[in-house]
A = this chain, B = another copy of it.
Amino acid sequence: MRDNYRTSLESVVHDLVEMTGLVQVAVRDATTALLEADLAVAEKTISADAELDRRHDDLEARCFSLMARQAPVAGELRTLVAALRMVADLARMGDLAAHVAKIARLRYPECAVPDGLRPNFTLMARVAEEMVETAGRSLLERNAHDAGRLADSDEEMDELRKSQFRVMLGTDWDYGVEAAVDVALLGRYYERIADHAVIMAARVIYVITGLLPEGENWPSA
């Protein structure tokens, strides 16, 4: 019976890793939709969010049922509590990717990102996608060291966001108010995807070591 239990728990972790892969695809697709003004990919990203929400509900129910079915030992309980939190973060990242795709769809056939900020968004999207990938891989490989590096990537993200503000609020900005509003929100969405990757990484470290990382680089929510 305990073997059975361990198998169910491993299958939860397996599915969390798989869901992280889907979120990574969602972030990549959202970026393609945004930078290429690709309507079909935008629609695909928005539809994919429903599947991520379905997986969220399924995984949450399975964690809860595992908690209720048999008194979990300490390490198992830690994994289940962390899984509940990670699945919420993953669902949220999926929502944020869909938000990016919705702005791309709203501005189609124009591109929501002005030329002057294209390199910035290309980099920002790459950092966000890599952070999601690292969070998933560190969970798969139980690698606390890789998970720990995510707090540094998050600083890179913050710098990219600051540079967006400098461009938008500089005297050279001639793309108007609508583009500025889009950029402010798009930057926020990518920044939040990165934040959730960091929170997920903190939970990976918790599963492995039993301790949450501390310090101002590790947000709690």
Contact = CB atoms under 8 A, between A and B. Distances in A.
Nearest to A175: B177
Q: Is the interface of A mostly helix, strand, loop or mixed?
A: helix
Contacts of A188: 185, 188
A88 interface: yes
Contacts of A64: 77-78, 81
A53 interface: yes
A181 B180 contact: yes
Interface stretch (A66-74, A130-138, A142-150): A66-74
Contacts of A77: 64, 67-68
A221 B168 contact: no
A184 interface: yes
Contact of A177 (B56, B78, B169): B169
A5 interface: no
A220 B168 CA distance: 33
Contacts of A18: none
A220 B58 CA distance: 12
On chain A, which size bracket covers the interface?
20 to 34
The number of times this chain is found in the oligomer is 2
Contacts of A88: 85, 88, 220-221
A178 B184 contact: no
Interface string A197-212: 0000000000000000
Contact of A56 (B95, B173, B184, B220): B220
A57 interface: yes
A75 to B, nearest CB: 11
A107 B67 CA distance: 49
A85 to B, nearest CB: 7
Given A84-B84, A169-B178, A185-B188, 14 more contacts: A53-B220, A68-B74, A88-B88, A88-B221, A89-B221, A91-B220, A91-B221, A92-B221, A168-B177, A168-B181, A169-B177, A169-B181, A176-B177, A184-B184
24 contacts: A57-B220, A64-B77, A64-B78, A64-B81, A67-B67, A67-B77, A67-B81, A68-B74, A71-B71, A84-B85, A88-B220, A88-B221, A89-B221, A91-B221, A92-B221, A95-B219, A168-B177, A168-B181, A177-B180, A180-B184, A184-B184, A184-B185, A185-B185, A188-B188
